[in-house]
Structure 1
Amino acid sequence: MKFATYHSGSRDGELLLVARDLRHAARVSDIAPTLQALLEDWQTLAPELEARYTCLNAGELEGAFVLEMATLHSPLPRSYQWADGSAYLNHVQLVRQARNAEMPDTFWQDPLMYQGGSDSFLPPTADIACVSESHGIDFEGEIAVITDDVPMNVGVEAAAGHIRLLMLVNDVSLRGLIPGELAKGFGFFQAKPSSSFSPIAVTPDELSDAWQEGRVHLPLTVHLNGEKFGEPESGPDMIFNFPQLVAHAAMTRPLGAGAIIGSGTVSNPGKDGGPGKPIKEGGVGYSCLAEVRMVEKILFDEIRTPFMRFGDRVRIEMFDRQGQSIFGAIDQQVTAVGE
């Protein structure tokens, strides 16, 4: 099934059931008024929605209407939990290599994860309002899962059964603020403003054989100012899969229904095992600006690519093997606060 949240004006919006081709949708408030309500009673409500989803895709559901992406919020406009991993260790390795730092062996056994702000996500087509270009404005193309209630100390195999939905993420980062915050030894806060998510969240079965072993095996497409910036493969270099990330997050505390767990920046090494190459040089490119900047530092001993400036636009999307958009697009412009 595919779901969206209509930006109705209320904080949590209104749940919509979305057709597989993303062209039509239907209100389902008689079953669940919001996505959060659905997740809190998934076992009971999902079968009813499955029946309607079949009718919607067949063009037989009364009340269906043409879907307009601009009217949608992130699937969960706010959440009780947003924790982002860093499962693509190629990304981590490049950042550390650029500053001549070794990557600890423990990084390969225990996932990195931080707890983000979840009280106000951005709609997928909303502006990214920032205080200053000097903060080092960056996008991060990622994948995330949404869970139902996850018990504390859940095993990896059991954790897989609590993954209900997947979506894409733009985990906005202010790179210029990160070093100072990390130097305090207490993690990110100001460096991580509101994230945004794809307009559509989908059940894992919608991905068919692209969902294997708790990973999505499809390219993630990123455009910057209308030019393709990256198309890295999201499956093979994800060191920790989503069940492992969920189990890690729930090791010492339960996760409430609606918890969002992110993959971290999708990243691939080059074919020779070294740093990946830009699209224009035959590589798969990148999912964030920080990575290409680190590659430039490693290869040329200088950084040539600037961070985002006011007016810049990023688009993040994923397509199935037939070229159909799966989650819709995150399409955002950076603006100055108050514009």
Structure 2
Amino acid sequence: MKLATYKDGSRDGQLVVVSRDLTTAHYASGIAHRLQQVLDDWNFLSPQLQDLYETLNHGKARHAFPFEPQRCMAPLPRAYQWADGSAYINHVELVRAASATQVPDSYYTEPLMYQGGSDDFIGPTDPIVCRSEDWGIDFEAEMAVITGDVPMAATPEQALDGIRLVMLANDVSLRNLVSDELAKYFGFLQSGYSCIAEKRTIETLLDGAPSTGYMRYGDTVRIEMKGLDGQSVFGAIEQAVTPLA
């Protein structure tokens, strides 16, 4: 099933069920108002949402309406935690090669992870507001999962069993702030070709210097994943960079 959170003036929004082809939606208020409610009572509420999803796909939902991505908040506008893992080893190898440093052996078995800010996620078409272009604004196209409760020291099987939903994400990074943050020995909160940094790395390896700049005010990034049928799986993230007013 596909779920989204519509803007309704509150901080957590209104949960909606979205059709497989991303054309229609239906409020889930008869089942749950917010996605966090569903995660807290997954075994009871998710089957009801699945039933509504199937009804919507068959064109039989009584109060269906056209789906508008512009009305969406982040699925979970406020989450209990955001943990980011550098699981794409090719990206790590490219960055290390450009800086003439070795990839630590542990990275091949234990992906680098950090805890980021999860208190203010933005919607898929919301502007990326930044105080200065000099911070090195970069996008990162990533896959994300929402989990239920995952036990400490979980096995891979337990971790997989804890996955509830899969998403597309844009992890905005401020590249020119990252090195100073890391020098403090703290995880950077906000500091691929799924990001500009990787493209700059390849340019450095091929040409001796990067030629692609980081994002500037007025630039727009669009991130989308398509299935084998050519249809969008999650819908698109399309965000413009704007200055802080």
Same fold flag (TM > 0.5): yes
Tell me the secondary structure at the aligned position of residue 50 of structure 1: helix
What residue number does 1:100 align with? 100
- What does 1:104-143 align with in structure 2 at a 5 Å threshold? 104-143=104-143
- What does 1:144-183 align with in structure 2 at a 5 Å threshold? 144-183=144-183
- What does 1:203-222 align with in structure 2 at a 5 Å threshold? none
Deviations 1:10-61 (A, max 9, x none): 1110100111111111111121111110011010111112222111111111
Residue 320 (structure 1) aligned with residue 227 (structure 2): yes
Whichever residue aligns with residue 128 of structure 1, its letter is I
Tell me the secondary structure at the aligned position of residue 8 of structure 2: coil
Deviations 1:105-134 (A, max 9, x none): 111111110101000001110110111111
Residue 301 (structure 1) aligned with residue 213 (structure 2): no
Contact kept, 8 Å, 2:127 with 2:242, in 1: the verdict is: yes
Displacement after TM superposition at 1:154 (Å): 1.6
What residue number does 2:244 align with? 337
What residue number does 1:258 align with? none
What residue number does 1:262 align with? none
In structure 2, distance between residues paired with 1:23 and 1:333: 23
In structure 1, distance between residues paired with 2:75 and 2:82: 13
Whichever residue aligns with residue 47 of structure 1, its letter is P
Contact kept, 8 Å, 2:124 with 2:237, in 1: the verdict is: yes
What residue number does 1:4 align with? 4
Unaligned runs of 5+ in 1: 193-264, 266-285
What residue number does 2:56 align with? 56
In structure 2, distance between residues paired with 1:298 and 1:50: 48
Contact kept, 8 Å, 2:149 with 2:162, in 1: the verdict is: yes
Deviations 1:231-269 (A, max 9, x none): xxxxxxxxxxxxxxxxxxxxxxxxxxxxxxxxxx5xxxx
Displacement after TM superposition at 1:170 (Å): 0.5
Deviations 1:65-114 (A, max 9, x none): 11111111111111001110000011111111111111111111111101
Tell me the secondary structure at the aligned position of residue 4 of structure 2: strand
Question: Which fold has the larger relative contact order, with Cα–Cα distance below 8 Å and residues 6 or more apart in sequence?
Answer: 1
In structure 2, distance between residues paired with 1:100 and 1:182: 18
Tell me the secondary structure at the aligned position of residue 47 of structure 1: helix
Residue 289 (structure 1) aligned with residue 205 (structure 2): no
Tell me the secondary structure at the aligned position of residue 10 of structure 2: coil
Tell me the secondary structure at the aligned position of residue 144 of structure 2: strand
Displacement after TM superposition at 1:167 (Å): 0.5
Unaligned runs of 5+ in 2: none
Displacement after TM superposition at 1:333 (Å): 0.6
Whichever residue aligns with residue 331 of structure 1, its letter is E
In structure 1, distance between residues paired with 2:172 and 2:154: 30
Cα RMSD (Å) of the superposition?
1.0
TM-score (norm 2): 0.97
Whichever residue aligns with residue 85 of structure 2, its letter is G
In structure 2, distance between residues paired with 1:37 and 1:87: 30
- What does 1:53-92 align with in structure 2 at a 5 Å threshold? 53-92=53-92
Whichever residue aligns with residue 99 of structure 2, its letter is R
Tell me the secondary structure at the aligned position of residue 295 of structure 1: helix
In structure 2, distance between residues paired with 1:62 and 1:83: 39
What residue number does 1:240 align with? none
When structure 1 is superposed on structure 2, of 133-142 and 295-304 the one drifting more is 295-304
In structure 2, distance between residues paired with 1:103 and 1:132: 32
Whichever residue aligns with residue 94 of structure 1, its letter is L
Tell me the secondary structure at the aligned position of residue 124 of structure 1: coil
Contact kept, 8 Å, 2:124 with 2:236, in 1: the verdict is: yes
Identity of aligned residues (%): 55
